[in-house]
Chain A
């Protein structure tokens, strides 16, 4: 019955559907775009938020971190990976190729790095581990021999290229055992926590213990920056969703208008329904089903259009498909659809109540 009532004024119903369709399209696509932006940014930032970098405080005359400092950091870091680094620069060559690279002295590279080829030793005793860019420049693989400052070393592993930005970027570096360095102290300690919150806690603990008596170290953490970035994208998403929601509310008003017009036109019919014993809430239910039907049809159309739009975005833009196919995007689709139907039903509420409340004797008099 609801469907037939709507088909009485096909154009009017279609326009109301179109309104909801556009509203759902707006809210779903803007929501998904915001989400894709946030996810892409997340990808680019990588694990930066989980890392803290501890360096000696040169202002206080501290030139290097001692084994005691490292021990103290390890105690407060708990389960988080701790990698003390010695840093230098060196000339690398292999055959005719040569390059200048940062040299890190590291005992346990597995704590913070991942190998693309070869295997990272638990304890780095001999040989060299190449960063991705260095390996490419020298055209070296795991097993190749490279010359570091005149000494021939076998390459035990090549690191994965790092996505985004990390404090101690290994792409242009070569990792050597600590024994390759003459001095005993460390230039920096990288701590890799499981989450940004944990990183913040560890950074705080390091400041309290290692810096208890004098400011021996600088603690550099990016969690706060990352949180700011995430807050920004949250705000952006909210703003985009708000824009979409406004258009959906406008669509709701058009449903209100359509339902109001149609109930005024059908005043006598509704009076007849009431006169022959159809209850008020049954009349309301019928009218709400009409409004809901407009919402469902418009909403489905909006969801389909959003799907096409997102598919287009994936095909014609450099956005990674993985980010677009993220399940949270489906949530925006479902949410927008549900919101569209909800808005329609809510918009139908007042006209339905109004129509059902007219005393039948008045409705029939006209």
Chain B
């Protein structure tokens, strides 16, 4: 069973009077433990594809499945719960909350659940940040921030991790370390989709999908 699947997905925006087709009849599936790189130029629709996969955006047409469950049409509340259940996000700009410590940032998705099972701290230790638990984001380097973000993406034990330009704000060497980490989480049967135009990423991916003008090549 695929971790995530898009079937005939089309996404159209109303872009200031004219309709923009960001995705056109996209079929895509990713298996547990697979690392797929989605590559394409700016405006090709790769971020939209990630948003649709991650339930941040709804498809105009077509169907969407997470872990075999049809999640094409959900209310806001249902989408939020499904994101928390199935999906982890890693953003290019890290998007850590500046007022929270590293460990609090990692625990963010489960912040409103009762009890702290120590998973956030354990994840940070695993990513080599065991001595940075109480540091604020402003006290961390770019690579450290992205590792905190990856730990956050994993804290809810997702089946799918979506990374939007995970190495975009990092130097080559740090970027490679981050890719190593993403590669490593696939070993736990987590599916990883990374959107990028960094050619280095191809070497780490099991499969590379190219997208242009909303059409998968």
Contacts and interface: CB of A to CB of B under 8 A. Distances in A.
Binding partners A and B: yes
Given A275-B89, A360-B56, 20 more contacts: A1-B99, A1-B100, A4-B99, A4-B100, A8-B98, A269-B98, A272-B97, A273-B108, A275-B54, A275-B56, A276-B84, A276-B152, A276-B153, A276-B156, A277-B83, A278-B108, A280-B77, A282-B111, A359-B56, A359-B57
A364 B111 contact: no
A269 B87 CA distance: 18
B142 to A, nearest CB: 17
A361 B57 contact: yes
Nearest 3 CB-CB pairs, A to B?
A277-B84, A4-B99, A361-B56
B80 A277 contact: yes
Interface of B: 51, 54, 56-57, 76-77, 80-81, 83-85, 87-89, 91, 95, 97-100, 104, 108-109, 111-112, 152-153, 156
A277 B76 CA distance: 11
Contact of A361 (B51, B84, B100): B51
A306 interface: no
Nearest to B95: A272
A4 to B, nearest CB: 4
Nearest to B158: A277
Nearest to A274: B80
A278 B80 contact: yes
A364 B56 contact: yes
A200 interface: no
A362 to B, nearest CB: 9
Contacts of A268: 95
Contacts of B88: 276
A360 B76 CA distance: 10
Interface of A: 1, 4-5, 8, 268-269, 272-280, 282, 359-361, 364
B9 to A, nearest CB: 15
Given A277-B81, A279-B77, A279-B81, A364 B57 contact: no
B124 to A, nearest CB: 16
A277 B111 CA distance: 10
A273 B211 CA distance: 29
Given A4-B99, A8-B99, A364-B91, A276 B56 contact: no
B13 to A, nearest CB: 11
Contacts of A279: 77, 80-81, 112
Contacts of B112: 278-279, 282
A276 B156 CA distance: 9
Nearest to A281: B77
Contacts of B156: 276-277
A1 B111 CA distance: 10
B97 A276 contact: no
A298 B15 CA distance: 46
A8 to B, nearest CB: 6
A4 B136 CA distance: 12
Nearest to A6: B99
Contacts of A359: 56-57
A8 B138 CA distance: 13
Contacts of B109: 276-278
Contacts of B76: 280
A273 to B, nearest CB: 7
Contacts of B153: 276
A265 B107 CA distance: 23
A269 B57 contact: no
Contact of A276 (B57, B81, B98, B108): B108
Nearest to B101: A4
Contacts of B95: 268-269, 272, 364
B168 to A, nearest CB: 14
A75 B194 CA distance: 99
